[in-house]
């Protein structure tokens, strides 16, 4: 089986080339060809000796996940479905804006955490993605978008992806080693050269892994909070039963010592009548009083049989005002790509409910 070179960061690729009896600079050359030039055919790596190219053809490959389909939303949002084998798919979303292009990257096939408002959890958990499958999403997006003009300016950019958020399918910190290796490639100046401030990992609150990330690869951190107290969060974000809010807030404070930004972003999906009331906003103010942070409020994106509804605009306004009056920075996420099911919480929304959550809820309601 050929070795997929997208599985390696530069140190790993250098070690692999050393085993082949090749000098370290050859690894840098190939790394540059793969990531900066988007070349997967060794024959096109023209500054590499023909004998090495022939050796690589026999022993290696550069293979990103295959594209099953690609859709473009009316607002310019792009979504790719990648085939990762055995009827498994992962989704990646690119959100273009005037001043940046953000790629939302998946880390797992499905998700084991079963947050009740998230459609990805419906399919249950299949497996972790490899490094090649994670970085391959950026590889495909970066090199395909480089040939397309900006929708606003009409210009073609050699760096269309300026920001990466690990907020796609899966819990990134549950696939720790592969995600950290992929992050290293994103940050490497020989590859994509992204700033730590422009790469964000989102977690539902895996506290020990948050501490490890701070030591190994401190990038910007977003925490999927979604509730202001343990009783409610236990219901909608079940990992809270293992790592309750007191431990999570302490982990956030520890992370900030190493973080490239001086705040934590708290993601908060607003569910009508569940977590969107004024008392919930006031509880959030108290909960985060000692954690420098900003809030990103996300109106729930409905999907079939979710059991939740989108909040009213007035509820969103009042909730946001309470947070702002307390001195917190608050943004409200614009819904992007919902016509192609690329909006937050909609990834893989049409897959089968392998977790059985819908049937469980229906039986409970019928009892």
Question: Quick one: 54 and 141 in the same domain?
Answer: no
Q: What is the pLDDT along the chain (367 residues), one digit of tens a residue?
A: 899 999 999 999 999 999 999 999 999 999 999 999 999 999 999 999 999 999 999 999 999 999 999 998 888 899 999 999 877 899 999 999 888 999 999 999 989 898 988 887 777 889 999 999 999 999 999 999 987 766 666 666 778 999 999 999 999 999 999 999 999 999 999 999 999 999 999 999 999 999 999 999 999 999 999 999 999 999 999 999 999 999 999 999 999 999 999 999 999 999 999 999 999 999 999 999 999 999 999 999 888 878 899 999 999 999 999 999 999 999 997 765 555 454 544 455 444 444 444 333 333 433 3
Pick the last residue of a domain from 38, 61, 84. 61
| Pair 203, 282 in one domain | yes
Instruction: Give the residue from 33, 26, 32, 27 showing the smallest Cα distance to 49.
Output: 26
Q: Is the same domain home to 266 and 149?
A: yes
pTM for the model stands at: 0.89
Domain span holding position 196? 66-366
Same domain, 42 and 187: no
Same domain, 30 and 99: no
285, 319 contact by CB (below 8 A): no
Domain with residue 28: its CATH number is 1.10.150.530
Residues taking part in catalysis: 91, 344
Domain total of the chain? 2
Tell me the C-alpha distance between 259 and 219, whole Å: 6
Say if residues 247 and 126 touch (Cβ distance below 8 Å): no
């Amino acid at each position: 089986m050929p070795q997929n070179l997208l599985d390696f960061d530069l140190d790993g690729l250098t070690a692999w080339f050393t085993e082949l009896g090749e000098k370290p600079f050859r690894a840098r050359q190939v790394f540059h060809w793969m990531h900066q030039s988007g070349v997967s055919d060794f024959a096109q790596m023209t500054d590499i000796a023909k004998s090495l190219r022939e050796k690589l053809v026999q022993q290696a490959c550069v293979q990103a996940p295959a594209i099953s389909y690609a859709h473009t939303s009316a607002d310019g949002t792009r979504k790719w479905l990648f085939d990762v084998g055995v009827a498994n798919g992962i989704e990646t979303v690119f959100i273009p804006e005037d001043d940046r292009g953000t790629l939302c990257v998946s880390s797992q096939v499905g998700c084991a955490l079963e947050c009740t408002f998230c459609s990805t959890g419906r399919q249950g958990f299949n497996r972790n993605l490899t490094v090649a499958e994670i970085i391959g999403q950026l590889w495909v997006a970066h090199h395909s978008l480089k040939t397309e003009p900006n929708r606003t300016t009409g210009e073609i950019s050699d760096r269309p992806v300026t920001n990466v958020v690990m907020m796609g399918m899966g819990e990134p910190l549950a696939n720790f080693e592969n995600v950290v290796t992929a992050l290293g490639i994103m940050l490497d100046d020989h590859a994509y050269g992204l700033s730590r401030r422009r790469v964000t990992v989102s977690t539902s609150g895996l506290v020990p892994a948050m501490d490890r990330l701070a030591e190994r690869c401190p990038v910007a951190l977003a925490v999927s909070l979604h509730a202001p107290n343990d009783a409610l969060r236990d219901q909608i974000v079940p990992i809270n039963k293992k790592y309750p809010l007191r431990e999570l807030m302490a982990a956030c404070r520890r992370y900030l010592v190493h973080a490239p930004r001086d705040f934590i972003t708290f993601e908060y999906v607003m569910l009508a009548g569940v977590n969107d009331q004024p008392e919930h906003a006031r509880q959030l103010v108290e909960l985060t009083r000692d954690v420098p942070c900003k809030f990103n409020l996300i109106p729930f994106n409905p999907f079939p049989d979710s059991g939740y509804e989108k909040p009213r605009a007035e509820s969103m306004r009042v909730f946001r005002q309470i947070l702002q009056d307390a001195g917190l920075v608050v943004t409200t996420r614009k819904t992007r790509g919902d016509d192609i099911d690329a909006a937050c919480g909609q990834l893989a929304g049409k897959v089968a409910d392998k977790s059985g959550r819908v049937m469980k809820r229906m039986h409970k309601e019928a009892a």
